[in-house]
């Protein structure tokens, strides 16, 4: 009788087992993956090994590496510089990286030359940077301030304090005229990028730190320490959330705002679900470290980067 019961329990367990989709293809990177950006048929991968690796999106082959100099740590050792953000506009590649004494530096790569725009001596502890336009960067500081930075004149247009909570992430929306800022409070703040002025707050869902935020077409999604990925619809004011098995470190939304992908469990698997029905369309695994970045190319293809030197590409059937 015991063995019959055991067999029945195993059969039931198998019925409820989640199928894990393995990567369609994998690429090797210089270091752990930190940030991913797609531009003009190329994938720009920021790593913690002083390198931005550039891949051909069609062939998945490595085309080039943009290297920044190594740094001296607090112990006096020479170490690789972690690249926190990469962004591309026209022929310019922006690179935000770790520098001396815990400060950050920003380079612009253009015409095969690397130009230092913001030196570490400015004392800015920048957590994230992105282009607003070819002349302006938006900087997010660990102190939860945002800065609009004039690239040509190397000066600040404005600095705005968002809140007293520690900064986590930001995403540009509405053709970069507004920015959604996430921090350890769980609330999202929306500000104008023109002058830094406050617009509105999205609150009441994430009750702890929001690690990442993403947005497309008026839909904002979060990755929460409270195991919630929240979907805010700015178009009609509605919202809902899905619970994960573990802390959600990373989240992404597809270009047409149909799908959301988020890190789902301790095994570094990612679940993808439809926004319209809230229903899961699959779980995707094969990731060798904690998920750091998810990037959709379209409604069928996406990349997952992690704290490993393997970058995975997936195709949804």
- How does pLDDT run across 71-114, given as a tens digit for each residue? 998 888 999 999 999 999 999 999 999 998 889 999 999 999 99
Q: Residue 280, Cβ neighbours under 10 Å: how many?
A: 13
pLDDT number for residue 4: 52
Asked whether residue 264 carries a pLDDT value surpassing 60, the answer given is yes
- How does pLDDT run across 55-64, given as a tens digit for each residue? 999 999 999 9
| pLDDT band at 147; cut points 50, 70, 90 | very high
Per DSSP, helices labelled H in 112-239 are none
Task: Please give the Cα distance from 297 to 42 (Å, whole number).
Answer: 11
CATH number of 204-317, picked from 2.40.50.140, 2.130.10.10, 3.40.50.1980, 3.40.630.30? 2.130.10.10
DSSP code for 166: P
Task: Please give the Cα distance from 151 to 138 (Å, whole number).
Answer: 10
Residues 6 or more apart in contact with residue 4 via CB below 8 angstroms: none
Domain boundaries defined on the chain:
22-123, 204-317
Task: Please give the Cα distance from 282 to 244 (Å, whole number).
Answer: 14
CB 310 within 8 Å of CB 288: yes
- How does pLDDT run across 195-245, given as a tens digit for each residue? 999 999 999 999 999 999 999 999 999 999 999 999 999 999 999 999 999
Average pLDDT across the chain, whole number: 95
pTM for the full predicted model? 0.94
Task: Look at residue 12 and give its three-state secondary structure.
Answer: helix
Give me the torsion for CA of 161, 206, 303, 43, rounded to 10°. Answer: -10
- 21: phi > 0 → left, psi -120 to 50 → alpha, else beta; which? beta
Asked whether residue 173 carries a pLDDT value surpassing 90, the answer given is yes
pLDDT number for residue 18: 82
**Identical fold, 22-123 and 204-317:** no
pLDDT number for residue 297: 98
Ranges of beta strands (E only) in 58-112 are 62-67, 71-72, 78-79, 83-89, 92-98, 104-110
The CATH T-level fold of domain 22-123 is Thrombin, subunit H (2.40.10)
Asked whether residue 45 carries a pLDDT value surpassing 90, the answer given is yes
Closest among 164, 146, 165 to 156, alpha carbons compared: 146
């Amino acid at each position: 009788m015991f063995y019959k019961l055991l067999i029945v329990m195993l059969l039931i367990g198998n019925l409820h087992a989640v199928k894990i989709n393995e990567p369609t293809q994998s690429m090797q990177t210089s270091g752990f993956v930190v940030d991913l950006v797609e531009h003009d048929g190329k994938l720009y991968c920021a790593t913690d090994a002083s390198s931005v690796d550039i891949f051909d999106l069609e062939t998945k082959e490595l085309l080039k590496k943009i290297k920044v100099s190594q740094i001296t740590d607090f112990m006096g050792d020479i170490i690789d510089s972690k690249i926190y953000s990469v962004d591309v506009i026209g022929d310019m590649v922006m690179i935000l990286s770790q520098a001396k004494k815990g400060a950050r530096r920003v380079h612009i790569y253009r015409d095969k030359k690397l130009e230092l725009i913001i030196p570490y001596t400015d004392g800015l502890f920048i957590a994230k940077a992105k282009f607003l336009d070819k002349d302006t960067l938006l900087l997010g500081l660990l102190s939860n301030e945002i800065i609009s930075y004039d690239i040509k004149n190397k000066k600040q247009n404005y600095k705005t304090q968002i809140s007293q909570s520690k900064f986590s992430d930001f995403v540009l929306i509405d053709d970069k005229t507004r920015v959604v800022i996430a921090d350890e409070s769980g609330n999202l703040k929306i500000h104008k990028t023109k002058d830094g002025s406050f617009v509105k707050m999205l609150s009441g869902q994430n009750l702890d730190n929001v690690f990442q935020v993403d947005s497309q077409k008026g839909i904002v999604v979060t990755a929460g320490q409270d195991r919630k990925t929240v979907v805010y619809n700015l178009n009609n004011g509605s919202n809902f959330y899905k619970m994960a098995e573990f802390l959600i470190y990373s989240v992404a939304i597809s270009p047409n705002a149909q799908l959301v992908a988020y890190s789902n469990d301790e095994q570094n698997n990612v679940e993808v679900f439809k926004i319209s029905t809230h229903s899961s369309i699959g779980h995707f695994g094969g990731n060798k470290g904690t998920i750091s970045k998810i990037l959709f190319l379209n409604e069928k293809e996406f990349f997952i980067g992690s704290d490993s030197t393997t970058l995975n590409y997936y195709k949804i059937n």
